[in-house]
Structure 1
Amino acid sequence: MTTATPHLLPGTEIAIESLPKVSLHDHLDGGLRPQTIIELADAIGLELPATDAAALGAWFAEKSDSGSLVEYLKTFDVTTAVMQTREGLERVAREFVLDLAADGVVWGEIRWAPEQHLTRGLSLDETVEAVQAGLDAGVEEARGAGHRIRVGQLVSAMRHADRGREIAELALRHRDRGVVGFDIAGAEAGFPAGRMRDAFDLLAASFFPATVHAGEADGLESIRGALLDGRALRLGHGVRLLEDITLTEEGGSTIATLGPVAEWVKDRQIALETSPSSNLQTGAIAAWGDAMVDHPLDLFYQLGFRVTVNTDNRLMSATTLSRELALVAEAFAYDLDDLLALQLNAAQAAFLPVEDREALMDTLIDGFEGAL
């Protein structure tokens, strides 16, 4: 979902859309264009809460701003319903890439759960192949329009289901055909990573990277499980890691003392995939406040964590990566160097070979220097 008005870095005339960016946490079924939903729904006879694109987009934003991850997730019943055919998956994936490219994304990891797209006869492998076809078409079209973009799939298993190993095997079958990593998603509380230990064992034995949603709707034990059972190289959101950091005032200065989990995440540079607007919508940071300035990402950044900024679900949050960066820049008085640091964090955490990560960082540096 693109916007006509660019988001300027506060105090400058620099449009954030013009800067190269890395997107690590962006759900395929959370990034549909409202008009596409209307057209796909019409083709399958699905009744929608609104049949005007603007009104439908507003409905998603309103329903998602509930303060509850469980309620937030209910909006996906609509988007996944129109993503049950090869044609639907290909179109959504193609447009997803085009929207990322229009926002200046040069590397995007696109996560989704194939097991949620089987109601109209597709097999798991066929869904992955359909999404990859759409991604490939989107990349080709975007490059034809002058954009520099690469993308990879993150195959997710749903935490409440018992298909973890099956989905891990699926990801491994497609590791050389577009799939770059594994994830678990869905309701976090009550469904720890340990439920899928066999899947994570298989992935570890196959040297395949995983990111795990943790520290969004559950606390420190969920993060601990993601690290121990999931061998997570990144934490999806991870904002409740703040529960393991104690802040004290000494002589006019604030001193941060890290607990063992926070220290492990920082010292090993396990990336935090924060999604500021989404984290406010779902109540993930409710213990510390309800405004952007209350988000712990700045504290993580100041303490040297590998913190990144993401969109999570562009449709539900009515957002883009450029908008998210503009919001945090406004909240925390970030300048161009800060935004570059956040992008370099994301590049270093990307599920890419080291040579590709280094080339990606060069692209980011060149693009940001060119904005001056």
Structure 2
Amino acid sequence: MTGVLAIAGMGLLQACSSGSADNAEADKTPEAQESGAERQVFGTLDNGTEVEEVTLTNGEGMSVSVMTLGASLHAINVPDAKGNVDDVLLGFDTPQEYLDNGNFYGATVGRFANRIAKGQFSLDGKAYQLDVNDGPNSLHGGKDGIFSHVWKIAEVTEGDTPSVTMTYRSPDGESGYPGNADITATYALSKDNKLTITYKMTSDKPTLANISSHGYFNLAGVKAHKTAMDEVLTIDASHYTPVDDTLIPTGERAPVDGTVFDFREGKVIGKDVRQGDVEQLRLTKGFDHNFVIDGKAGDVRRMARLEDPESGRVMEVWSSAPALQFYSGNFIAADFVGKNNVLYRQGDAVALEPQLFPDAPNHPDFPSARLDPGQEYRNTIQLKFSTDTGK
């Protein structure tokens, strides 16, 4: 039976679409853990706002910590093939560092994840101007996107699948988006080491909805101090969307066959990431592209598989979204220190973000980001962790 620990109810109405890894908890063997959910204070922002954190534990060696700042993932501790537990998510030891260092570490991003050209779009003949925070474009909802606000904890549950639900109301006009938007993010951890993230949104005016999770993953674990470029990535996509020099899609859906963008059979990420004769990689300084996932959007299907051969850790990404943004950590510049005093460098992690196509509002042939009153946007993301000994 599932027990409710904390409730601060928020009614919502389908359209398409932790601590640091060195602490004692992270080093526990799977047998020493118990299933449950623990709510505690993570820290305080410079403005005095308290940031809470809920840690979900499944009793099988895995735990996930989610903080109220941006409904963000703070830590994902999982065992390797030998049972050694480590955190596979880059991040920081205090909440203020997440705001100060940017780059959306572990964050829930939106209202529109990814880029919108010049921060401009139209709905029903009315033009809107969003915050511009990425060269000439708006990225992940603008400088004051939903990732930058402290959410409310609506519910924490225990049982075989402990979970936490967080809520945020984005007011009409915030970052330039129309409508009062009610957004929920639910994280649930099952005993088979599957983390399910469910995003929902409703609005009282026509608006845009495209919400995703922006975790930076290194399956070697943060204690290993290794690059993620040695990990093997599979992406279940036959096409991708090329970009222009501001990283906005040109509108083409290009086949991956015969290109560096073909990850269908799996390959080491670093094999092609520095291919300077590929214009698309020069433009993005590596991979930072939208992959059109095979299969039917709306159905939860596998999008990607990431494996660290040395530790044996495997993560599969499943989602109902039509596309996946693969980012190879090109702009991690060793200009700040992360968890456990680690200096993060280019390629130390990768992001795999299930979402709509970038700049969708300005491409009528892309899956629509429009959300009308009476509809509910939903994006279901599953992160399935396992191990592979290679035998």
Higher strand share: 2
| TM-score (norm. length: structure 2) | 0.25
| TM-score (norm. length: structure 1) | 0.26
